[in-house]
Structure 1
Amino acid sequence: MKIDRLLAITVLLLNRGRISAAELAERFEVSTKTIYRDMDTLSQAGIPVAAHQGTTGGFEIMEHYTIHRQFLTLDEIASVVAAIKGMGTAFEDKNLDNLLEKVQTLLGRSDLQTSRQSARMVFDFNPWGQGSGAKSKVSLLKAAIERLQLVSFSYSNMNGVHTERVAEPYSLILKGHLWYLHAFCRLRNEFRMFRLTRIQGLEVLDQLFLPQEAPSLDRYEWRQEWSGPDELEVVLIFNPEVRYRVQDIFAPELVTQLPDGTIRVKGPYPVDEWFYSMILSFGERVRIEQPPEAAQEIRSRVQRMLSLYPNPDTQMSTFPR
């Protein structure tokens, strides 16, 4: 509908600044002539739209102009409330409580009661069974970011190598169900990603740092050296009974069901400590077909495990100490 497009264009101009007619036409799948007519309609409605000519031209709305909160629908406000509540599951922050109260004032009492009784979306950033450790780390790091305080910690990479780090924290990133810290590492002298589950002995230092220009995270890409070795082409064959676990771990485009019911996973994957632990967790329900060196490593690990149990009567007390 035209009114929906006009509102969407207004919101887009408020958030993005200057946008060309061609870009708007492509986004809303209409002609540029339609966009020009829409701009005339917005101007007649009292929205201060300015047009600029030239190669860098386009349309923009005068600075400091805002739209009334009534432009938000009940469902849209409820979605914002759900997102704020979800943030509260990740870390303790009284400001979130205040923000939630402010947003909920956009709802009438009856609407607020309805949204509480029939929540359509729930965001919980703490995985099932996870303790308070991750939440504590997130809260400490959030405070350090806000106060520009250095942090120190012991970090373990994918190969189990531990290093002591001092870092300038800039951002916290929730990727899937895992938290990462984007920080300038003074040991490596560059910006890096640190997985919070591998951070131990976290301490917020009294020393402050002068913030420097950090790389944009709008479209950041993972760098393989942050997590371990390069990806290798792997081929894994799983028994049908573990299908649900395979689907939880691997991307759908890597998974194929074979005629005999077994499941093949084929594609690039980092062969690291996590990979070997994952394979061993499947026991006899998985076979590595490629790469051969990964199969040999699993064979060696199983043999070392068997050496701990030389006979059925071996007791735990005989384990090396």
Structure 2
Amino acid sequence: MKIDRLIGIVTILLQTEKSTVPALAQRFEVSRRTIERDIDALCRAGVPLVTVQGYGGGVFIEPRYKLDKTLLSGPELAALVAGAAGVGSVSPAPLARSLAEKLGGSGTDDLLIDLSSHYRESLTPKIELLRTAIAEHARVRFTYYYAKGVAEKCAEPYRIVFQWGDWYMFGWCPDAAGWRMYKLNRLTLLSVTAQTFEPRAIPPEALDFNARFHDGTLLRARVAASECYRLVEEYGPACYTRQPDGSLLLEIGYTNEDVAAAWLLGFGAKAEVLEPPALRARMASEAQALCAVYGAPKK
């Protein structure tokens, strides 16, 4: 619809500060002439658009312009500002304040989002470099730490994703010829290369990040009642049933045995794996290994 496209044009120009008629036409899949008519309609509606011809020119909104906040309800405005504050927690720019100024309001203070956790100092430069690489369609190089060891990687970045409580880069790995997710906290020595790439079409299934994890193996474990809060925090109150002796019977699915074993070890003697047999044997082996480390006093 035309009204959706007009609002979209204003939103893009508020976000990117400047664009071009060809770029907007490609973005909205319409002709250049249609975008030119849209720009004329926005100008007549009072939006101060400025067009500059020639090299380095484009379309932009007069810097002092504020979007009429009556277009947004109170909850919508608050959600926008809160979301900007969340992104701002890993960005060097004061996005929440800038957005509030453009919208002519300040939102509310009842929702605070900090997506940086303890890693803002290291996350912010990585995210800024990746945003530059994505905008320029440039490959990135980095050192990556994972279960197989340490490797030098090269990838084509497409998305910066906050999922499962962590930040990831989603992109195409030329070596593996497939789509991959790289956790930013495991990624060091990131650099944007001079090598550009032609953007690929991303299949919808590749963007279904949760589909990467299939909880196909059932874990049954007896857990001490004192650890109830940890089970609820991780899997919710429906993940266990309280037993007559006061213990908790945990029943959940898991994907990766290594991850499941590492999580269970955190309970110490307060969790006992009942099923599957392979994981129970794995935990017994881990316990024996710990006894070997801590059992005999060192000389």
For the criterion TM > 0.5, the same-fold answer is yes
- Which residue among 242, 250, 255 is the counterpart of 2:240? 255
The corresponding residue for 1:91 is 91
- Within-5 A mapping of 1:180-195: 180-195=168-183
Q: Does 1:308 align with 2:284?
A: no
Give the whole-Å Cα distance in 2 for the aligned partners of 1:97 and 1:149.
Answer: 30
Tell me the amino acid that sits aligned with residue 179 of structure 2: F
Q: How does 1:57-76 map to 2 (within 5 A)?
A: 64=38, 69-76=69-76
Q: 1:74 is aligned with what amino acid?
A: G
Residue 241 of structure 1 is matched in structure 2 by 226
Distance in structure 1 (CA, Å) of the matches to 2:97 and 2:195: 29
Residue equivalent to 1:294: 279
Cross-structure match for 2:139? 150
Deviation at 1:202, TM superposition (A): 2.6
Tell me which of 173, 180, 199 is aligned to 2:161.
Answer: 173
Q: Tell me, what secondary structure is at the counterpart of 2:194?
A: strand
Equivalences for residues 25-174 of structure 1 within 5 A: 64=38, 69-93=69-93, 98-103=98-103, 105=104, 107=105, 112=106, 115=107, 119-127=109-117, 129-130=118-119, 132-157=121-146, 159-174=147-162
Unpaired runs of at least 5, structure 1: 1-9, 16-62, 316-321
Return closer, same or farther for 1:95/1:131 CA change in 2, 3 Å cut-off: closer
Task: Measure, in 1, the Cα distance between the counterparts of 2:236 and 2:144.
Answer: 28
What code does the residue aligned with 2:167 have? W
Describe the SS at the equivalent of 1:174: strand
Is this contact kept in 2: 1:144–1:151, CA < 8 A? Answer: yes
For the 8 Å contact 1:165–1:186, the answer to whether it is kept is no
* Secondary structure in 2 matching 1:173: strand
Shift of 1:122: 1.4
What is the distance in 2 between the residues matched to 1:293 and 1:218? 31
Q: What is the CA–CA distance in structure 2 between the aligned matches of 1:188 and 1:80, rounded to whole Å? A: 38
Q: CA deviation at 1:214?
A: 2.0
For residues 75 and 191 of structure 1, what CA distance do their matches in structure 2 show? Answer: 37
Q: Distance in 2 between matches of 1:310 and 1:262?
A: 28
Residues matched between the structures, number = 243
Structure 2 stretches lacking a partner, 5+ long = 6-36, 46-67
Are residues 1:272 and 2:272 paired? no
**Cα pair 1:271 1:294 within 8 Å, conserved:** no
Contact 1:126 1:177 in 2 (8 A): no
- Give the percent of matched residue pairs that are identical in Structure 1 and Structure 2: 23
* CA deviations over 1:128-151 (Å, ceiling 9, x no partner): x44522333223222221222211
CA drift at 1:185: 0.6
Give the stretch that moved more between structures: 255-264 or 241-250: 255-264
8 A contact 1:145–1:169 mirrored in 2: yes
Structure 1 residues 273 and 197: alpha-carbon distance in aligned structure 2, compared to 1, 3 A threshold:
farther
Q: 1:166 is aligned with what amino acid?
A: C
**Distance between the aligned counterparts of 2:219 and 2:295, measured in 1?**
33
Tell me the distance in 2 between the aligned counterparts of 1:149 and 1:305. 47
Contact 2:82 2:96 in 1 (8 A): no
RMSD between aligned residues: 3.3
Q: In the aligned structure 1, how far is the partner of 2:165 from the partner of 2:203?
A: 23
Mapped partners of 1:150, 1:303: distance in 2: 46
| SS at structure 2 position matched to 1:141 | helix
Change in 2 beyond 3 A, CA 1:93/1:142:
farther
- C-alpha spacing 1:136/1:291, structure 2 compared with 1 (3 Å): farther
- The AA in structure 1 aligned to 2:266 is S
Amino acid at match of 2:101: E
Q: Secondary structure of the residue that 2:175 maps to in structure 1?
A: coil
When residues 94 and 131 of structure 1 are mapped into structure 2, their CA distance, relative to the original with a 3 A threshold, is: closer
> Which whole-Å CA distance do the structure 2 matches of 1:179 and 1:310 have between them?
39
Q: Which has more radius of gyration?
A: 1
User: In 2, are the aligned partners of 1:169 and 1:184 still within 8 Å (CA)?
Assistant: yes
- Report the Cα offset of residue 219 of structure 1: 6.4
> What is the TM-score when the length of structure 1 is the normalising length?
0.65
